[in-house]
Structures are given as C-alpha cells and as structure tokens.
Chain A
Amino acid sequence: MTELQDTGLRRRADDAAPSITDLIDEETVQSIAQEAWSALVGEDEFLVPLPGDLPEDAVSSWVDVRGPWNGTVVITTGRSTAEQLSRELLKEHAPPVLDEEDIEDGLGELANVVGGNVKAVLPGPSALGLPVVGDAPVAGPDTCRVDLLWRGQSLTISVQGTAGALLDQ
C-alpha cells in the first residue's frame, strides 16, 4: 500500500470547496443587492450593471461566511458614495455632518444585509460574521464580482472564496 505524503496544500486541493461561480451568478448577486437598495436606501434607488472607475479613496465593507463554502461578501465604493448611502439609510435622522462611525455603520450594514442574503442561497448550514469596514480584502480567482453604478457612482460587490485565495498565494 502506498503511503501518501500529507501536505496541507494537497488536502485543501483535494477537499476543494465548490467554486463560487458554480454556486451563485452575477445576476443573483445583483438582484440581492437591488432588493436591499430598494428596501433600505429607497424604493426608487437603482443599481445599474455598468462598470465604473472606483476613486482612490475607495472603502470596503464585508462579512465573512463560514460553512460548506468559506469566503467573504465585499462591497466597495468611494468614500463620498459611502457617505451618501449612510445619509440615505438614516434619512431624517442623518445629522448635518456625518461622522466616520455613521459612514462605516451604514456601509457595514449594507454588506451585512447583502451578505446574509448571499449566504441564504449558498449551501448551509453556515455562519455569518459581523460586518467589518476598511481596505478591501484581496480577492482570489474564485470570485463572483458585479460592477454597478448607483447614482452614476461606481460600486462593486464581490463574493470571494477564501479557499481560492489561499491556493493562489
């Protein structure tokens, strides 16, 4: 009997989780995001599937999904767009000048809602992490990404597998 050498890399490759593009498509991600925008940002707020240029000060919010599929659901947009989004979420409760905490809270909550609904269409049971805001986590090859415009401003949503990112390193 041949004894196989045990390496972590081979184990990850052998037990490869399903590719995210086999589990969810761009149309589904966009549909989930649009539903969140209509309910939370405003019923006349539309996400248009067109690529745009993200500004240099782009900020991301994301939630991790842990289960049969492991990865992260990330929303990335310009800082001023994130501020406008938080203002729309707060509506009449938005102060004249939004502080950083409110901007991060708003963008984080959008990632939380989109991530929760992405998780719902992935194989379960799985757990959702708390939203995090900062510089975007690096996406590996196992990524389903949609490029959108909200009020003409660029916004991307990516569902990126952790396993793919590990194997790519």
Chain B
Amino acid sequence: MKILVADDSRVMRQIVIRTLRQAGYDDHDIVEAEDGADALAKVSSEKPDLVLSDWNMPNMTGIECLVAMRASGSAVPFGFVTSEGSPEMREKAANAGALFLIAKPFTADTFNEHLDGVIA
C-alpha cells in the first residue's frame, strides 16, 4: 500500500510517518508532498492508496486539494491530519469526501482508531 503524506512542515511529515510506524503500519510505501498542489500532482503521478493531509498549507490547502481530486474523478481515500478539529471543519471535510479528521496532537492510538478500517 502506498500512503501520501502532505504537510508543509517537514518536521510534521516526519512525525506523521513515525506515528504510522508506531501504530503498526510499518510496511507501506510513503510518499511526501509539501503542499496541496504538490499532493494533487502526486495523486496523479504516484497513484497512492491513501492520502493523509494537513489542512492549512500554502499554494493549495488540503480541502482545496481534496475538492480538486474529487472533481477530477479521483476516489482515493483521503483523511486530514490537522491542528484544527472544530465541528465546522469536520463537517466541511466530510462533505468534501474526507473519511476522517485527526486533530493534532495525535498518538499512535488515534491513528489506529481512524486507520484500522482503511489500511489493510
């Protein structure tokens, strides 16, 4: 399985990747994207099986990336990993087609809770 991790912070991308390993998802290919535009391009070129994306990013936000993906016909499973988890944002994410929203800070248990049904 290939997982695309999109976050404009390199530090946070490393934390997400480390938490995936700690949660037991350690035998998957990881591709990194540094903003929403990069993620959108890599959804086409890398064909990931899952996208884990930050919300607030320069160039293109996570929600803009998700909307563009769905508009282009991509049905790749998509989840947010973001520092904001307000009810409005969760509703917006779900309406755009996101499977879940993990609020930072998170633990390996949080990842298991949301990803066990998504990652085989």
Contacts and interface: CB of A to CB of B under 8 A. Distances in A.
Given A39-B105, A40-B105, A90-B14, A120 B85 contact: yes
Given A115-B83, A128-B83, A128-B84, A105 B10 contact: yes
A72 interface: no
A93 B103 CA distance: 23
A109 B14 contact: no
Given A90-B14, A91-B18, A116 B82 contact: yes
B106 to A, nearest CB: 6
B86 A109 contact: no
A91 B8 CA distance: 18
A28 to B, nearest CB: 15
B11 A106 contact: yes
B9 interface: yes
A125 interface: yes
A40 B15 contact: yes
Interface in A105-124: 105-106, 108-109, 112-113, 115-117, 119-120, 124
Interface residues of B, number: 22
Contacts of A40: 15, 104-105
Size band of the A side of the interface?
Answer: 20 to 34
A94 to B, nearest CB: 9
A26 interface: no
Contacts of A109: 9, 11-12
A105 B15 contact: no
B69 to A, nearest CB: 22
B58 interface: yes
Contacts of A101: 10
A105 B9 contact: yes
Contact of A113 (B14, B57, B105): B105
Interface string A85-101: 01001110100000001
Nearest to B107: A39
A130 interface: yes
10 contacts: A35-B105, A39-B107, A86-B11, A89-B14, A90-B11, A93-B14, A116-B82, A120-B86, A128-B56, A128-B84
Given A112-B104, A120-B86, A130-B56, 15 more contacts: A36-B104, A38-B105, A39-B105, A39-B106, A39-B107, A40-B105, A89-B14, A102-B10, A108-B9, A109-B11, A113-B83, A115-B83, A117-B103, A124-B86, A125-B88
Interface of B: 8-12, 14-15, 18, 56-58, 82-86, 88, 103-107
